[in-house]
Homo-oligomer: A and B are copies of this chain.
Amino acid sequence: MEVLIFLLFILVLAIFLGFEIISKVPSLLHTPLMSGSNAISGVTIVGALIAAGLGEGEDTAALIGGVAVAFAAINVVGGYLVTDRMLNMFKKKDK
């Protein structure tokens, strides 16, 4: 139960922080922001890896974990790469 309190505290702080930081991003960058945050939401890959690598328990759990890893990896890899591709296009006038 104590752990839950810590997690809640962290959740509250992260929500506030999220609103503060994201609301500063200018609309110019909203599309990359969207795909970038998409990539970050792939952080479930951490949970998926643990599930897939678990030795104990049934094989099914690890299999499900493996599928989860695949989905999350698409999210992470696809999200970061496409964001980078987009941001690479943003250029200042160089003349």
Residues of A within 8 A of B (CB): 2-3, 6-7, 9-10, 13-14, 16-17, 20-21
Contacts and interface: CB of A to CB of B under 8 A. Distances in A.
Main secondary structure of the interface of A (DSSP, over half): helix
A1 to B, nearest CB: 13
Given A6-B7, A6-B10, 5 more contacts: A6-B6, A9-B10, A10-B13, A13-B14, A13-B17
Contact of A20 (B9, B10, B20): B20
A38 to B, nearest CB: 22
A22 B46 CA distance: 33
Contacts of A20: 17, 20-21
